[in-house]
Chains A and B, each alone.
Chain A
Amino acid sequence: MTAFTWRSGSATSQGNVRTHNEDAVLDLPAVGVWVVADGMGGHDAGDVASRMIVESLCAIPRAERLSELLDRVEDRLRSVNQRLFGLSLQRGTTTGSTVAVLVACGDHCVSIWAGDSRVYRLREGALTRVTRDHTEVQDLLDGGLLDEKAAAEHSASNVITRAIGGAQELFLDVELRELRQGDRYLLCSDGVYKELTDADLARLLAGEDPNAACRALMSQALAGQCSDNVSVVVVEFS
């Protein structure tokens, strides 16, 4: 087994229009866990939800095995889901958050997600999306009822079908990848990929180091209209 090391960076912003930031990020290289969460439900709901996710994961202990680390992350997310779902019932409005998590151990990594926050991989200049959005538009795309162009302009592009706190039972999707020298992973909220093209993402993600890549991604996103919160985490494996 190849022992990989990694370095990472992260950044988040409320964007150019919103008055508060409902996104939250977690950069935990000592453990091998990175998170982007995009809250929903407005002020005092969305930010609470995304913060609860990050707070539940920030004290996660290091693990010797990938399976152990994945179980711990999943247990915490399921617990937050229960609390948020209870809160939603209590308040009568949805308090929830999307989440994209990357965990790494040994020579593999796993992406875990719910909603439309994404994980991308940049390998030898080629950008690949690891996650599949849990959105109505993605369902329409998969069903052949929409093409990419129509999907981008669809009125329901913000409607997600899965989130932490969205239902009593949480189903998280999981994707496994083998690591290679020089792989870079990007975790981001929808505010980023709606502002930047895939070509932009690939070019900016290839920056000098993860922190520089984060700065470049944020700068470019904020140079546009940037009507949503924007958050990025970049992890480089070597």
Chain B
Amino acid sequence: MSEAAADRLRCLVKDYQQGRLSFPEYRRLRTALLDSLGREPGEEGVAAELIAEVITQPRPPAAPSPVVTSKPAASPRSRWVGALVLGLVVVVTIGAILVLERGTPESSGVPVPGSPVGSDRIYDVIEPLMNNPDWGEARIAAVNASLLEEGGRQIAARQQTEWFQRFAAEVRRRLESQRAAGAEGLVPDQSALAALAVTIGLNLKDLDAPLTPPPRGGSDSTARLPDQH
């Protein structure tokens, strides 16, 4: 039981840190898990199933697509919940198709406020970072590389959306915080965060300036990953 319990606890921690569980939900599920340790197998199964059910249901609007984790054999209750979730997914999908077919701004590439309807590759790249407290160099560098692959034109097309502005504000805040802490070398060649800032159109010399069209992706990009020693 303990190995499985340790794995489940790890999943709970991750789900909380990535925004799929609120702190009270995380606490409640963690308590249920730890209190089930040493109980009879049947009782442990109830706690495990409860945790699995809750984790499979993401908090709206944390992610554009549902996060699915492995789940034990479905109980009548979980089958009912599954049918409900499936129904909601079908309704949302039909709605998205109708919106796209009617030629709304999204289909012509004009920025819209809020999260994008349907899939957006730029959003899909930055959203996991926004929901993760861990902004390590490697993670930022990976996001930057993905954005560079998408290209400056794609980024520029989303610069005025609410979600992109929120992302830019977070990058700006982190840069300002590092500068305030006396960090040196906040330039694209030495800092993944600075490189990311350039990629999304921030001006490192004037962080409060409006976003400018970023450099084109690919070989003509001036935004570089930091040196890896």
- Chain A residues engaging chain B, CB cutoff 8 angstroms: 1, 65-67, 70-71, 92-94, 106-108, 110, 134-136, 138-140, 142-143, 145-146, 150, 154-156, 161-162, 167, 169, 171, 173-178
Contact = CB atoms under 8 A, between A and B. Distances in A.
Contacts of B38: 1, 106-107
A108 B9 CA distance: 13
A154 B27 CA distance: 37
A218 B66 CA distance: 50
Interface string B8-35: 0110010011000000000100110011
What is the interface of chain B mostly: helix, strand, loop, or mixed?
helix
A130 B225 CA distance: 32
A155 B30 CA distance: 38
B228 interface: yes
Contact of B180 (A92, A167, A171, A173): A92
B181 A171 contact: no
B50 interface: no
19 contacts: A67-B30, A70-B30, A70-B34, A71-B31, A92-B180, A93-B181, A107-B37, A139-B134, A139-B136, A140-B137, A140-B138, A145-B138, A154-B229, A161-B135, A173-B13, A175-B6, A175-B10, A177-B6, A178-B2
A174 B138 contact: no
B interface residue count range (under 10 / 10 to 19 / 20 to 34 / 35 or more): 20 to 34
A71 B27 contact: yes
A159 to B, nearest CB: 8
Contacts of A169: 133
Contacts of B10: 175
Contacts of B229: 150, 154-155
Q: Which of A65, A143, A154, A162 is most buried by chain B, counting CB atoms within 10 A of its CB?
A: A143
Given A94-B181, A139-B134, A142-B138, 12 more contacts: A65-B35, A70-B30, A70-B34, A93-B181, A107-B38, A134-B134, A136-B136, A140-B136, A140-B138, A174-B30, A176-B5, A178-B2
Given A155-B229, A173-B13, A143 B31 contact: no
Contact of A167 (B17, B133, B138): B133
A161 B136 contact: yes
B142 interface: yes
Contact of A174 (B13, B31, B137, B142): B13
A110 B17 CA distance: 18
Contacts of B31: 67, 71
A108 B37 contact: yes
B139 A139 contact: yes
